[in-house]
Structure 1
Amino acid sequence: MREGIMKRISKGFSLIELVIVIIILGVLAVTAAPRFINLSSDAKIAVLKQFKASAIEVNQQMQMKAQMTSYSVQPVDGRPDLTDVDLNGDGNFDIRLKCGFLDNTDVAKRINYSDDQIGNEYEGVNYTYFGFSQSEIKTSQCYFRYEQSYGSTNPSVCDSNDARFQPGYQLETSGC
């Protein structure tokens, strides 16, 4: 008889065992969740840093192309600080440089990105914001801001080697 009781096989978990497992899973979820939440923020910051690096590189590339004889370059009438560049040789000047750097609207044309996930907005004639919204990017506090070169209509003042005339590249990541 005693042998029959010992041979009884228990099936399933008791209520106490299930509660203990649920508590352990809850503790693990609470400790691991912040790491996964920060991954999204870290990814957004990495994308914005890449925008900054791309803007710097595209400006360097455009400065070189403007110096090459294989590209058509012309000054803008009455504005010696502005230069138009024809990149594809079709006779249309598609890019405008201010003191040798991309103006705020042309930087968006030269950086390839998906319009589905990234948006841009302009503030006046000097700033372009790139962020993870299609509107109100500046208020999101998660953006890359490009500030076009501060130029002067006096060509002797417009020196692309002078730090005062270099474009600005700013990251704002407090809202990411």
Structure 2
Amino acid sequence: MRNRGFTLIEIVVIIVILGILAVIALPKFINLQDDANQVAMRTMKGAIASADKLIALKISLNPDMLNNDQTLFTLDNGQNIRVKGQLADGRWDITFLHLLDFNDIAMITSNNCDNTSLKWCVRQRSANWFLGRGYATLGTGRGFVIFPFNKNVNEDRCYIYFLNQNDSEIPVTVQPSIIGSDFSEC
């Protein structure tokens, strides 16, 4: 019986086939990071929406936990958080930082999330930022945006956002919070 190896033509055909498979499959694997970021951001968005609803419910059930100006609400652990319109205030550092336990996230003051020690960045935004992107219709309130490392909050539409639309602690008409996402440039 004669042992025969592969011919040069057979090896070239196999290499070409593997090359075609790599060209087709590689972009799918490269894009997994963006897909993972979107899943994580959807999870964060759900947690933010739940925290917002939970605080509104707690305030309605325990209005005595509000201070006289209705600007602060005392949580069960004694921590005070800011509120507007008896809803969670749109500032990350004095409200949601105390409500949520997100890992690898930090508040920044620039538009670039480029600190290699961070996976996620939070940037506080005025209502005008939300108005300019069509996410809100009122010119009041404040909010924040969470976006992944290596993105720019003003240039890349790859983030989740929260906006408390109320401009005073006791508004005549309470406007609901806006919680959304934009993954069009992830």
Q: Which runs of 5+ in 2 are unaligned?
A: 105-117, 127-140
After superposition, what is the alpha-carbon deviation per residue over 1:24-43, rounded to whole angstroms, capped at 9, x for unaligned? 10111122223223333322
Comparing 94-103 and 117-126, the one that deviates more: 117-126
Pair 140,111 (structure 1): closer, same or farther in 2 beyond 3 Å: farther
Structure 1 residue 71: deviation in Å?
7.4
Query: Is the contact between residue 101 and residue 149 of structure 1 (CA under 8 Å) also seen in structure 2?
Result: no
SS of 1:138 mapped into structure 2: coil
After superposition, what is the alpha-carbon deviation per residue over 1:132-156, rounded to whole angstroms, capped at 9, x for unaligned? 0277333222101111132345x36
Give the match for residue 56 of structure 2.
63
Indicate which of 7, 27, 34 corresponds to 1:14.
Answer: 7
**Number of equivalenced pairs:** 156
Indicate which of 86, 94, 109 corresponds to 2:98.
Answer: 109
Q: Which runs of 5+ in 1 are unaligned?
A: 1-6, 77-81, 160-164
Alpha-carbon distance between aligned partners in 1 of 2:47 and 2:38, rounded to the nearest angstrom: 14
Give the match for residue 87 of structure 1.
75
Give the match for residue 27 of structure 2.
34
Give the match for residue 41 of structure 2.
48
Matched, 1:157 2:167: no
Which residue identity is paired with 2:156?
Answer: S
Structure 1 residue 173: deviation in Å?
0.9
Give the match for residue 142 of structure 2.
126
Give the match for residue 148 of structure 1.
164
Structure 1 residue 8: deviation in Å?
4.1
Alpha-carbon distance between aligned partners in 2 of 1:75 and 1:138, rounded to the nearest angstrom: 38
Structure whose alpha-carbon radius of gyration is higher: 1
Alpha-carbon distance between aligned partners in 1 of 2:121 and 2:38, rounded to the nearest angstrom: 15
Which residue identity is paired with 1:83?
Answer: T
Which residue identity is paired with 2:181?
Answer: L
How high is the sequence identity, in percent, across the aligned residues? Answer: 24
Alpha-carbon distance between aligned partners in 2 of 1:28 and 1:134, rounded to the nearest angstrom: 29
Give the match for residue 138 of structure 1.
154
Alignment TM-score, normalising by the size of structure 2? 0.71
Q: CA RMSD in A?
A: 2.6
Which residue identity is paired with 2:83?
Answer: L
Alignment TM-score, normalising by the size of structure 1? 0.74
